[in-house]
Amino acid sequence: MRTGNPTKPHPHDDAPDTAEAFARLVRLPEGPERKALRDELVQAWLPMAERIAVRFRGRGEALEDLYQVAALGLVKAVDHYDPVRGNAFEAYAVPTITGEIKRHFRDHMWTLHVPRRVQDLRNRVRHAARELAQTTVGRAPTVPEIAAYARLTESEVRTGMEALECFSALSLEAEMPGTDGYALGDSVGGPDPAFDTVVDRVTVRPFLEALPERERLILYLRFFRGMTQSTIAEHLGISQMHVSRLLSSCFAQLREELLSEAG
């Protein structure tokens, strides 16, 4: 017959009766005897820890790894359980083990940083979808159905559904569906060497518009039409030396105005 507080029964019918062992563990000093008893208690409750771990399978982590995390949570529960409080051990151990597994997922399984609020939405959406799947046979529940069941907005449901994909990320070497060896990384763009040019043009535009019409024409012919100074001079009916002086004057004026603007 079990010992302990009769008003707080064991949640598991097959839970081992370890109340006396825990009472003795508390009284034992550090040493081989206490360690041996501690190991016996961990071994006795290990099946319960493994049952808790099984609840989290199918979420991107190997079951054997979940067993190890659950065992770690069990060890922590054994070390910190205080039988004097009158609670059955599993009432303390279950949330301790569950919390350890959830921390494992939060700290090690999310390849993208997901805020806690979004993680909570993900859990509510996943739970609602599983519950509704039992009544919507042959199809997946819709966003409005999940929103109504979980008491969320449709926007929150979509956010939670997007978070379901954040446990793992595709490798850039992964082949894209429907292609012949075309990797995801091949579709990622790189730095555009013309980007800085666009920024420079936008910056200098108001100063160019303030130049006299002839100077603007010379700059256009030189840098947008690719004409030489001699060709420009012939086109405008002036000397090549004059074209050179006008270009130098434009450069000096633009440089001074840009530096003044930057300062």
pLDDT of 224 reads 84
pLDDT of 245 reads 93
Please state, as a whole number, how many other Cβ atoms lie within 10 Å of the Cβ of residue 73.
25
Per-residue pLDDT of the chain (263 residues), as tens digits, is: 333 343 344 445 557 888 899 889 888 889 999 999 999 999 999 999 999 999 888 776 788 888 999 999 999 999 988 888 877 888 889 999 998 888 887 666 655 566 778 878 888 888 888 888 878 767 888 999 999 999 999 999 998 888 776 655 556 666 667 676 667 667 776 677 677 777 777 878 888 888 889 998 998 899 888 999 999 999 999 999 999 999 999 888 888 888 877 65
Alpha-carbon dihedral 17, 56, 128, 150, rounded to 10 degrees: 70
pLDDT of 7 reads 37
What are the φ/ψ torsions at residue 27 (nearest 5 degrees)?
-85, -20
Q: pLDDT, tens digit, for every residue of 65-106? A: 889 999 999 999 999 888 888 778 888 899 999 988 888 876
What CATH topology corresponds to 195-262?
A: Arc Repressor Mutant, subunit A (1.10.10)
Q: pLDDT, tens digit, for every residue of 12-42? A: 555 788 889 988 988 888 999 999 999 999 9
User: CB neighbours of 6 closer than 8 A, spacing ≥ 6?
Assistant: none
Separation between Cα atoms, residue 242 and residue 226, nearest integer Å: 18
Separation between Cα atoms, residue 66 and residue 53, nearest integer Å: 6
What are the φ/ψ torsions at residue 175 (nearest 5 degrees)?
-75, 135
pTM: 0.43
Q: Does domain 110-169 have CATH number 2.30.30.50?
A: no
Q: Would you state the structure tokens that stand for residue 76, as one six-digit string?
A: 């922590």
User: CB neighbours of 20 closer than 8 A, spacing ≥ 6?
Assistant: 3
Please state, as a whole number, how many other Cβ atoms lie within 10 Å of the Cβ of residue 92.
17
19-109 and 195-262 in the same fold: no
pLDDT of 167 reads 59
User: Partners of 183 in the beta sheet?
Assistant: 175
pLDDT of 14 reads 58
What CATH topology corresponds to 19-109?
A: Rna Polymerase Sigma Factor; Chain: A (1.10.1740)
pLDDT of 229 reads 92
- For the chain, the structural domain boundaries read 19-109, 110-169, 195-262
